[in-house]
Structure 1
């Protein structure tokens, strides 16, 4: 248990208030960008209507902060079941008697007003749930995770573009996607000290990782285009048995949102169709596509432990950093995060974000598929509820690491773990390659 001075507590409250306001501004922008028809319709059976996501954000905030932390009377107890993600699959949610856009906006405002009163009056100590303002941080992350989901829904909608953002920074100079050898040895994986780390990131533990080689940058559109044009989607030899079965069932021929135009490929990004930017990381590929490309390239996907060691371990100090570049929070010079740009940045754009080994763009741009299944760390304890992580453990889900241009810094760090089905392509997912070292590289 941590005891805070009055000044430290007020600083923490100010930080929470800023994060809550920032996440709500993003939710509001994503929902205000479209009309009521677009808010209530389902743009894909893979996704909820945008209005469901927004009301669900408010409902989770009410459950945890108003009722649990604050001990206040419910605002809308009658809607709890309707906005319980485990009770209603996404495909079924449009048929529910959802709150209208007007009702939703009114509801989330009322909940937030009560939350700010709870924040001002709640001692941030004495219960595990409120230590270091954990419950508030959990809700900030929950809202930002749904903001990324809503951004993916925007990518799936049809019609003229409604979201706009400046281009990411350009690389400051020539870029070479070289390989980097990470020596064998132990490192500290996960965390026991990050205040808002979620249960599946905990606890910190030692993991021995054999030597491996990893690419400095993620796989680019240019690299992936070679796989497409060489017939990689038609050659079963590169695909796992499960991957080939899904490739045939789904008739995969290219990354999602690539558009064939005669002999060239374009990409549809939030309603704007344009030529591929060849040195951007490829995005919207599923695990099976990443796995097949890696086989075609004579390499493999990194394990989750390899990915985290390449991202966090500092061989000079022997410790694991919070982020690849160090312990300071992400800035615009470090990574492409938070929907600041509506696309991955070209490789080489963030030299200040490199890890101690020199591996680049491991945070932001695209979630990176790894070869690992989702599992608990040794000593895992579900907190504050089993349904956040524990019910998903097992071989059905593959791990993604690093965050995307749609992930927010509050919900993305060196230890943050994301997972999804290996068939998912609507998410902002890409990958980088790894391989076992040759004997001559270990001398």
Structure 2
């Protein structure tokens, strides 16, 4: 995970500024919540907003302040136990499925915890001798908090979207989208290509090492699949026909009795869906969201096409949209909703499922210590997603970024891009 090749003094100044910006953004994101929203955990995969706020603070306290500030006093001796997530090397931790039991500490106490750690962090950073190791840990901490800000939006949408009142997270100006153009195909010729991170800035260890792969000629869609196109799959009985589903996916869809993407509701013969702005009539021109890998794969089979591999996606992105365009629909837009599915649009809007299993690249080696648990230990039974979503900061996404989730999950901001062999 290389850090930017700038002078240590420049890195220190940049980290202080970014630390304040990233931490302030989380407070802005939770500002619309009522106090009761902070503690809810309806399912294991969803963490209470209060826990996200504390966990991201725990990271800086445990990995920066404790090892670097002489005689530093923990804000509370039990917080490392309560707010560790999965870092075995960092000590014992509270059970993930029972985070919602933690009505105490209170939201006020968690906010005091954030303020306490931030004060000590800024004091430390203003006087510390910056080293590459410290800059690396700080960079991981900032990236980590940004990832949790996106996870927070997944989670609060699940919390509010499963409330029978369907309360809005915040008021959103959701104007009807424009009618989408017919799907076009972007071609990539047969050949050998280099994939993986190639630059001087930050990347996660799972983007290394850069290596060569061979691809047969293929085409990839120039936009995401829309709600209207996915509705045709539903109307055609796609959820009832085993021919389109992987065996594991067929078991999943039947055991859960799913008939549509998450947040779709049929009410008085009208299809509605829950958005962060509340319950709305489905806009058939917007890209379909909140589909699992199983649903994305089944839809692709129904169309006669397939999902791209992660390497096809990366090579196509480098060819057709290597740089992030100014109008990319990312967190910086602050719209909190997917927009019109126009091409090529590889960056933002919705994460895109690929058919690739999440596995290490050649020469991969997890870093030593607790931070070595960040990515490598999850390289099993998960699928890779690419491209970012409307909740991903622009500074964080790149063509080599590899997100990963279990194939049954729907609550993330994920959609579908099709591919086909030539």
Change (3 A) 1:331 1:102: farther
The equivalent position to 1:208 in structure 2, one of 209, 214, 239, is 214
For residues 89-100 of structure 1, the aligned pairs below 5 Å read 89-96=95-102, 98-100=104-106
Contact 1:191 1:203 in 2 (8 A): yes
- Give the structure 2 partner of residue 189 of structure 1: 195
Shift of 1:98: 4.2
Work out whether 1:391 is the aligned partner of 2:393. Answer: no
- Give the structure 1 partner of residue 329 of structure 2: 335
2-side partners of 1:345 and 1:60: how far apart? Answer: 33
Change (3 A) 1:229 1:2: closer
- Give the structure 2 partner of residue 255 of structure 1: 261
Change (3 A) 1:224 1:108: same
1-side partners of 2:234 and 2:397: how far apart? Answer: 31
- Give the structure 2 partner of residue 81 of structure 1: 81
Shift of 1:91: 2.0
- Give the structure 2 partner of residue 433 of structure 1: 418
Shift of 1:167: 4.7
Contact 1:304 1:370 in 2 (8 A): yes
Shift of 1:338: 4.2
For residues 30-429 of structure 1, the aligned pairs below 5 Å read 30-68=29-67, 73-76=72-75, 77-86=77-86, 87-96=93-102, 98-125=104-131, 127=132, 129-130=133-134, 133-156=135-158, 157=160, 158=163, 159=165, 160-167=167-174, 175-191=181-197, 193-270=199-276, 272-313=278-319, 324-326=321-323, 330=324, 332-338=326-332, 340-348=334-342, 360-383=344-367, 385-394=371-380, 396-429=381-414
What's the RMSD between the two structures over aligned residues? 2.5
Change (3 A) 1:341 1:221: same
- Give the structure 2 partner of residue 320 of structure 1: none
Change (3 A) 1:43 1:72: farther
Show structure 1 runs of 4+ deviating over 6 A.
1-5, 168-171
Contact 2:35 2:107 in 1 (8 A): yes
Which stretch shows the higher mean deviation, 106-115 or 162-171?
A: 162-171
Shift of 1:109: 1.1
1-side partners of 2:220 and 2:416: how far apart? Answer: 11
Change (3 A) 1:273 1:147: same
Unmatched segments (≥5 aa) in structure 2: 87-92
1-side partners of 2:171 and 2:191: how far apart? Answer: 45
1-side partners of 2:171 and 2:155: how far apart? Answer: 15
2-side partners of 1:91 and 1:285: how far apart? Answer: 23
Contact 1:148 1:406 in 2 (8 A): yes
Which stretch shows the higher mean deviation, 285-294 or 63-72?
A: 63-72
Change (3 A) 1:161 1:236: same
Which stretch shows the higher mean deviation, 31-40 or 177-186?
A: 31-40
Unmatched segments (≥5 aa) in structure 1: 315-323, 349-358, 438-443
2-side partners of 1:416 and 1:210: how far apart? Answer: 22
Change (3 A) 1:167 1:289: same
Shift of 1:207: 1.8
2-side partners of 1:306 and 1:123: how far apart? Answer: 43
Shift of 1:233: 0.5
Which stretch shows the higher mean deviation, 379-388 or 300-309?
A: 379-388
Give deviations 1:112-154, integer Å, cap 9, x for gaps.
12222232233443x4x23xx3322211111111111111122
Contact 2:180 2:340 in 1 (8 A): no
Change (3 A) 1:52 1:182: same
Shift of 1:53: 1.0
Give deviations 1:271-300, integer Å, cap 9, x for gaps.
511121222111000000001000000011
- Give the structure 1 partner of residue 25 of structure 2: 26
Shift of 1:70: 5.1
Report the TM-score, using the length of structure 1 for normalisation.
Answer: 0.85
Shift of 1:191: 1.4
